[in-house]
């Protein structure tokens, strides 16, 4: 992949050229699309970078969708990248995979939320470079960049500039490619993976048949990725409220973000505690003595 990526990220592009390219391809943040119980974010179909190919290669992410019920959250990703990852001898493990899926409820930008341990995250690819041991849902998360050990981009400005220079349209799903929610410049500022976190839930992976039964339909958006990856977890693992969720390839050759909102968990009915047998016995004995005492006083009054 990465001969072109490594060479390309060192090319020098002037700010004027970059601005002109984006003037030709204006990008706007779009609201997520609700359909049949799923909240969809659809990405640009030509902004994945795979070796010398721009669009349609292994690192093309087409869309993400989220379904919420009273007790479950289900996630679906439509992409050309399998959970096995993409073989690359230049990568640290000889393989480049998905980064982790982050949820940010804090209202802060992504890098600030990471610095303050305010992120939640899901490790769903067990072969990636995550800093946690197993797949699952995590809280109190900080994020890290693994792009440099995966022959990737150092910052989003490099990625955006290269994609636009090829006449393609970089985007981040529900966010514009240049949205300040993500750090755009600097060295190693693309945070792709969990660095630290505390596990709070497990995942259940979902088959294509299960996803279809739940009403998932990426085809309505012409999303034609070869892979549809699905998993669910207990809704109680995440807070309620507005969020931005995102995942980025470990090389940052494509990324996807979605805006959404989770409703609070339904209130559980209050259950009155059932007294222990010893409590009932004590109450019964107490009442018996009160009754005997009252009877004795009554008899005493009659005698007198």
pLDDT at 17 over 50: no
Query: Taking residues 100-128, what's their average pLDDT?
Result: 98
Identify the pLDDT of residue 275: 64
> How would DSSP label each residue in 114-138?
HHTT-EEEEE--TTS--SSSSSEEE
Query: Taking residues 138-161, what's their average pLDDT?
Result: 98
Confidence band for 96, pLDDT divided at 50, 70 and 90: very high
> How would DSSP label each residue in 3-43?
HHHHHHTT----HHHHHHHHHHS-------EEETTEEEEE-
Identify the pLDDT of residue 14: 34
Site of tokens 């995102």 = 246
Confidence band for 92, pLDDT divided at 50, 70 and 90: confident
The answer to whether the beta carbons of residues 79 and 260 sit under 8 Å apart is no
3-state secondary structure 191-209: CCEEEEEEEEECCEEECHH
Per-chain mean pLDDT for the chain? 86
Angle at 139 between CA 37 and CA 130, to 5 degrees: 95
pLDDT at 112 over 80: yes
Identify the pLDDT of residue 255: 98
Identify the pLDDT of residue 264: 94
Please provide the distance, in angstroms rounded to a whole number, between the alpha carbons at the two ends of the chain.
109
pLDDT single digits (tens) 48-70: 999 999 999 999 999 999 999 99
pLDDT at 131 over 60: yes
The answer to whether the beta carbons of residues 252 and 159 sit under 8 Å apart is yes
Identify the pLDDT of residue 4: 41
Break the chain into its structural domains and give their ranges: 2-262, 275-304
Residues in the chain: 304
pLDDT single digits (tens) 202-237: 999 999 999 999 999 999 999 999 999 999 999 999
pLDDT single digits (tens) 237-295: 999 999 999 999 999 999 999 999 999 988 766 666 666 655 544 544 444 444 545 54
Percent of the chain with pLDDT over 70: 77
Question: CA dihedral in degrees (148, 152, 155, 157; nearest 10)?
Answer: 160
pTM score above 0.85: no
For residues 299 and 90, the model is more confident at 90
pLDDT single digits (tens) 163-183: 999 999 999 999 999 999 999
């Amino acid at each position: 992949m990465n001969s072109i990526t490594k060479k390309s990220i060192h090319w020098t592009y002037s700010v004027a050229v970059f601005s002109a390219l984006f003037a030709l391809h204006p990008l706007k943040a779009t609201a997520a699309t609700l359909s049949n119980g799923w909240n969809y974010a659809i990405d640009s179909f030509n902004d994945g970078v795979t070796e010398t190919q721009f669009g349609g290669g292994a690192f093309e992410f087409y869309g993400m969708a989220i379904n919420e019920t009273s007790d479950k959250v289900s996630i679906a990703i439509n992409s050309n990248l399998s959970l096995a990852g993409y073989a690359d001898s230049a990568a640290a493990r000889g393989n480049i995979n998905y980064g982790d899926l982050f949820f940010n409820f804090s209202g802060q930008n992504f890098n600030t939320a990471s610095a303050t341990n305010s992120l939640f995250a899901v490790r769903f690819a067990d072969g990636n470079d995550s800093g946690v041991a197993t797949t699952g849902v995590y809280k109190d998360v900080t994020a890290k960049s693994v792009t440099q050990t995966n022959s990737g981009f150092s910052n989003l400005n490099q990625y955006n500039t290269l994609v636009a220079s090829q006449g393609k349209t970089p985007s981040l799903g529900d966010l514009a490619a240049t949205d300040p929610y993500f750090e755009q410049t600097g060295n190693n500022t693309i945070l792709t993976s969990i660095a630290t976190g505390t596990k709070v839930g497990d995942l259940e992976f979902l088959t294509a048949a299960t996803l279809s039964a739940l009403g998932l339909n990426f085809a309505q958006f012409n999303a034609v990725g070869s892979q549809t990856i699905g998993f669910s977890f207990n809704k109680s693992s995440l807070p309620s409220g507005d969020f931005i969720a995102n995942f980025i390839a470990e090389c940052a050759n494509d990324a996807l973000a979605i805006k959404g909102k989770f409703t609070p968990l339904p209130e559980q009915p209050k259950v009155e505690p059932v007294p222990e047998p010893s409590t009932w016995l004590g109450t019964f004995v107490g009442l018996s003595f009160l009754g005997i005492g009252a009877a004795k006083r009554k008899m005493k009054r009659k005698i007198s």
